[in-house]
């Protein structure tokens, strides 16, 4: 088993690295890695329905979609992520979280922590969730990854995932809000997240006979960066891959109340209806038609609205406050 202690904290790179290892390595692998503040959304989720977009923008939080299912999670440098990639026989049951979470539980128990697997995908200590897990299947390889909240800033976690008063009607999987805790809260001894990381890696190296450390080669890094640029850096993957959804929101602007009803498919606005008590010189139907076919993305909408004399459609309404109402 190749054991990779990845020092990179760019979530776009790290999610690309996971996919690269799954699809290009043949050996079983174990990886430990951290991300700078970021929201990692599940493969089947509607990204905009999962995040507090204002908080995300104000705090420069990365938003990246992963390959596996499950709910959206907040990462920061106080959170440690682990990944197992394992070759399995096609006859073997692939959805088996226990064999991947048990080594982590074993480490926590050696630290005299009351850790257990609970529910469909959680590790808990004294009933509080410290780890969420998800899986992805590619051919005969299982990718299992999980979070380990060690010393995360809980207020950031709460604020980043707290959706503003928006109403989405969609078939995407909604994140389950859980009662969470940091592992460090339950510990008597002093330890930082990197020492915790090293303790887990040492356990894995001793637990598996064929385990050995591996560092990405220059060729590995070139290939990972290429995948990052082509996929994990793109709006099309992180936002545009969201399932079809209907967005509804009413906002109070300097020029009156405006209500938006937007149908979005593959990240593209297919239908836009605008209502409200604002004043206008030209018919707002022109704006509705203008926005059809535009990605549900701030800069793309801004570029499109720059083609018209916005003030004639929405008197005394700022263009930025109008756009903000669409998210």
pLDDT value, residue 257: 87
Last residue of a domain, one of 238, 264, 298: 238
Residue 294 and residue 152 share a domain: no
pLDDT value, residue 302: 96
Write down the residue that tokens 């850790």 correspond to.
115
Residue 225 and residue 150 share a domain: yes
pLDDT cut 70: percent of the chain above it: 93
Residue 250 and residue 202 share a domain: no
Dump pLDDT digits (tens) for 299-313. Answer: 999 999 999 999 989
Last residue of a domain, one of 238, 264, 289: 238
pLDDT value, residue 201: 97
Which has more confidence, 138 or 75?
75
pLDDT value, residue 109: 96
Cα of 15 vs its chain's centroid, Å: 10
Q: What is the mean pLDDT of residues 263-267?
A: 89
pLDDT value, residue 250: 87
> Which of 29-38, 183-192, 234-243, 294-303 is predicted with the least confidence, judged by mean pLDDT?
234-243
Cα of 297 vs its chain's centroid, Å: 17
Residue 205 and residue 279 share a domain: no
Structural domain range at position 127:
2-238
Last residue of a domain, one of 238, 257, 273: 238
pTM of the model as a whole: 0.77
- Residue pair 74/34 in contact by the 8 Å Cβ criterion: no
Q: Cα(259)–Cα(117) distance, rounded to whole angstroms?
A: 45
pLDDT value, residue 225: 98
pLDDT cut 90: percent of the chain above it: 65
pLDDT value, residue 114: 95
Residue 37 and residue 148 share a domain: yes
């Amino acid at each position: 088993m190749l054991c990779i202690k990845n020092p990179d904290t760019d979530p776009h790179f790290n999610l690309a690295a996971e996919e690269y290892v799954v699809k290009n390595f043949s050996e079983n692998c174990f990886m430990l890695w951290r991300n700078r503040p970021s929201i990692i959304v599940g493969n089947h989720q509607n990204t905009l329905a999962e995040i507090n977009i204002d908080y995300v923008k104000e705090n420069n939080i990365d938003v990246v979609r992963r390959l596996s299912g499950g709910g959206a999670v907040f990462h920061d440098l106080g959170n440690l992520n682990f990944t197992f990639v394992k070759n399995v026989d096609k006859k073997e049951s692939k959805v088996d979280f226990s064999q991947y979470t048990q080594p982590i539980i074993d480490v926590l128990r050696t630290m005299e922590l009351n850790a257990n697997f609970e529910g469909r995908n959680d590790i808990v200590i004294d009933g509080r969730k410290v780890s969420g897990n998800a899986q992805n299947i590619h051919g005969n390889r299982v990718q299992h990854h999980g979070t380990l909240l060690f010393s995360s800033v809980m207020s950031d976690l709460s604020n980043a995932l707290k959706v503003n008063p928006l109403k989405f009607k969609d078939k995407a999987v909604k994140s389950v809000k859980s009662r969470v805790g940091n592992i460090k809260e339950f510990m008597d001894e002093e330890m930082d997240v990197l020492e915790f990381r090293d303790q887990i890696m040492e356990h894995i190296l001793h637990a598996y006979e064929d385990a050995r450390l591996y560092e990405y080669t220059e060729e590995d890094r070139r290939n990972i960066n290429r995948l990052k640029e082509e996929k994990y850096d793109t709006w099309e993957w992180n936002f545009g891959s969201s399932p079809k959804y209907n967005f509804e929101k009413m906002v109070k602007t300097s020029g009156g109340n405006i209500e938006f009803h937007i149908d979005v498919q593959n990240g593209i606005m297919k239908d836009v209806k605008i209502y409200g008590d604002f004043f206008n010189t030209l018919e707002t139907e022109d704006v509705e038609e203008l926005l059809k076919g535009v990605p549900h993305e701030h800069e793309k909408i801004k570029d499109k609205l720059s083609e018209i004399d916005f003030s004639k459609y929405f008197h005394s309404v700022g263009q930025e406050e109008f756009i903000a109402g669409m998210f």
